[in-house]
Amino acid sequence: MPRPSTGKAFEHRLEQVGRSPRRGSDEAGPEARQSAPKEDLKKSGGKMTTRSSKYVGVFAALVLVMVPGPRSAAQPQTAISAVTQRSLADVLEEITPAVVNIAVRSRAPAATNPLYNDPFFRRYFKLPEQQQRLSAGSGVIVNAEKGYILTNHHVVADAGEIGVTLKDRRRFTAELVGSDEATDIALLKIDADKLRALPFGDSGALRVGDSVVAIGNPFGLGQTVTSGIVSALGRGGINVEGYEDFIQTDASINPGNSGGALVTADGLLVGINTAIVAPAGGNVGIGFSVPIAMASAVMEQLIKHGEVRRGRIGISVQDLTPDLAEALRIEESSGAVVGSIEQNSPAAHAGLQAGDVILAVNNHKITGSADLRNRIGLAQVGSQVEIEYLRDQARKTVTMRIEPAEANAEAEAIPAPLQGAQFQDAAGNVVVSNIEDGSAAERSGLRAGDVIVAVNRQPIGTVAELAAALKDAGGTIALDLFRGGSKLFLVIG
């Protein structure tokens, strides 16, 4: 009876068949090709039967290996066969026309002396004319009928003219529909026909290890495709001033890829490529994309209002840590703990209390304070949200209305050195949304875009808390703030 060596013989058989399909029965070797002499057969007697049984046994074993058994009804079948499975090249051939190159023409930053902006002054002193600055990026067509293109805010910021080049080399001048610095998303529009849009995927369903492809225009070379995997989800801390929920990928993203597409292996748009970690100026396998769920929410507001109108419910929160969960005697491992409630806010009217643990918003599980801020901050002002929370180990649900984020602190609470500044709630901090030219706030050193996190070492998270802290500050005001990713300490007398 044949033993495990039969399996080796069968493996050898497969290798040979792949190499030369005409061999047939010759594989049995020279002994099998020679007919046994009749006298040997006669003399063999019982031995002949034994030898025949040996070969029959081998043949039967091979037949058992080669012929598949009957498939049971419960046995799962392959979803996509090798014949019908689409290659990545086929997918890319369909979707790459939806990714465009963007060229931005803008003027170089003006000199600090205002006289340099006077053309007569420049001509009299023979100063060189202001140079135009050219920059390149990428974009994704998301609505072929209306010509909408998603890209990054930093790609088109301060643009004088925006040019869009399609894969078929047609060129158009784009209109800026709107832009949002906090999420680094901008929306363009072109008047063109025969466009192809990328269908949206579910960025919330991504898992670490999923295959993804980045498409863009690195270094102005032209459309380029790179592949990788999802390295991490829910990344934050890249830009303290904004709303962050980045997809991290090792697909190569280089300068010029900004605004390009991050797509799944089956061609669905799941992210807008935005940033990289580049200690040496190039790609090191750490890139970040804005999830399409966030980008599409921003896009809807830009189409409707031309800007993003932030919402609020009037709470400050912090992450639910293992230590907090143990102190609160709860088993949940993720959520946002309510730290304080503003008076007369939607949260106060709905009955939320400090110490409540928010677990979900509109049936979306909340992973932490940043996730909650993103959900509330990007919700449509005036819409209703359903919040599931935990209090005294009991789950409860409440519905409340999203209010507009406060644009300014109360005038009487703003001291004279800060007059002319406007403040806005943003991602659990306070952002200087605008500074009037020549105002006291400008002379004090504040700049639009500054993120204030503390007043006289007292942490603040909302405009109302800023107003209260300024009211109690007295004469000298010390502000902890972030500007351009750097932390500053500003003292205002």
Which residues are known catalytic residues?
A: 154, 184, 258
Q: How far apart are the first and last CA of the chain?
A: 99
Contacts for 445 with CB less than 8 Å, ≥ 6 apart: 490, 492
- Backbone φ, ψ for residue 342 (5° rounding): -75, 145
Contact 389, 352 (CB under 8 A): yes
| Residue 453, token pair as written in the block | 């996190």
Distance CA 421, CA 432 (A): 7
Contact 254, 218 (CB under 8 A): yes
- Backbone φ, ψ for residue 73 (5° rounding): -65, -30
